[in-house]
């Protein structure tokens, strides 16, 4: 069973529990998600099955889009509504101009410090476990990119934002940092991931629909092909000799005018996806990076 599911994760479920459910329903040992969603967050969670787990890295690196509701005037230790309140202030002095001005500093390339309550690890231990034990670890800020940040609605003390961002962006941290910039504190009240790469929430399948599909043995209706997430990669059709070489892990020569600085997709003469190739400049050959047999 090879392919990718676009699952609409409900609130209260961890990303891991969704993966565990898919494993149980499918009987497939190789199952993994592409990009953790916090338990309280909802929305698009791509789940890869079988050989599709080998392209998780390409999904993780795609841009994500979120609809976030931020509450001003209340800060928490987790930076979201599940945490303990650490600071309160009256946000009534914040008007639209002040909010828009503060938001402008979060667009483009920014540096962001991950929250202590996160799955990042310190010496093998997840930070959230250390945080629960009362241990605070100094975290380094890291670069992320906010491609699009729009204020969708504003009614004191709530601001709804639409955010398109790069891998590694914490919307909880953005909410917390916005509160600090405004001087009143803030936390993330609600979060919905509306897009992850090619996967849109409009086409996402609920867990109930998923279980029904397994009961009716109709999962194929929801499975996306492995190569669907790398369609922006150049492609090439190879002959049967080259196909056999790739299956054995051997490099091949390609006469097509491909961009040798990038990866490419390889297909058999009958259109079957064979794998991802990378160019070896020193040999002038294309080497299989990932082969799907």
What is the percentage of the chain residues whose pLDDT exceeds 70? Answer: 99
Count, residues in the chain = 293
Instruction: Please indicate whether residue 95 is annotated as part of the active site.
Output: no
pLDDT digits 0-9 by tens, 272-286:
999 999 988 888 889
Query: Quick check: 241 and 249 in contact, CB under 8 A?
Result: no
pLDDT digits 0-9 by tens, 132-168:
878 788 888 899 999 999 999 999 999 999 999 999 8
pLDDT tops 90 at residue 206: yes
User: Which is nearest to 25 in space by CA: 220, 213, 221?
Assistant: 213
Query: pTM score > 0.85 for this model?
Result: yes
Catalytic-labelled residue, pool 38, 77, 80, 177: 38
Mean pLDDT, all residues of the chain = 92
Number of H helices, E strands in the chain: 7, 18
pLDDT tops 80 at residue 118: no
Domains and CATH numbers, the chain: 3-62+198-228 (3.30.2350.10), 64-196 (3.30.2350.10), 233-291 (2.30.130.10)
pLDDT digits 0-9 by tens, 19-49:
999 999 999 999 999 888 989 999 999 999 9
Q: Return d(Cα 258, Cα 143) in angstroms, integer.
A: 32
Q: How confident is the model at residue 293 (pLDDT cuts 50, 70, 90)?
A: confident
């Amino acid at each position: 069973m090879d392919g990718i599911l676009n699952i609409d994760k409900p609130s209260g479920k961890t990303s891991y529990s969704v993966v565990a459910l898919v494993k149980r329903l499918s009987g497939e040992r190789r199952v993994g998600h592409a990009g953790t969603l916090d338990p309280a967050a909802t929305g698009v969670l791509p789940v890869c099955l079988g050989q599709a787990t080998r392209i998780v890295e390409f999904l993780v690196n795609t841009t994500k889009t979120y609809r976030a509701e931020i509450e001003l005037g209340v800060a928490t230790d987790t930076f979201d509504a599940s945490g303990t309140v650490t600071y309160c202030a009256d946000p009534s002095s914040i008007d639209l101009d002040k909010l828009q001005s503060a938001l402008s500093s979060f667009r483009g390339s920014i540096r962001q410090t991950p929250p202590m309550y996160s799955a990042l690890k310190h010496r093998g231990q997840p930070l959230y476990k250390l945080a629960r034990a009362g241990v605070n670890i100094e975290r380094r800020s890291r670069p992320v990119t906010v491609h699009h940040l729009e204020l969708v609605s504003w009614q004191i003390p709530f601001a709804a934002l639409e955010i398109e961002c790069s891998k590694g962006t914490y919307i909880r941290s953005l909410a917390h940092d916005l509160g600090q910039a405004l001087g009143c504190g803030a936390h993330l009240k609600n979060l919905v991931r509306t897009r992850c790469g090619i996967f849109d929430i409009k086409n996402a399948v609920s867990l109930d629909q998923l279980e029904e599909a397994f009961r009716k043995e109709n999962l194929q209706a929801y499975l996306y092909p492995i190569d669907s997430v790398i369609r922006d990669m150049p492609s090439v059709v190879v002959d049967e000799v080259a196909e056999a070489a790739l299956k054995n892990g051997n490099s091949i020569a390609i006469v097509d005018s491909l961009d040798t600085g990038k990866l490419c997709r390889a297909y058999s003469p009958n259109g079957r996806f064979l794998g991802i190739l990378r160019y070896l400049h020193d040999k002038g050959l294309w080497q299989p990076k990932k082969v799907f047999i």
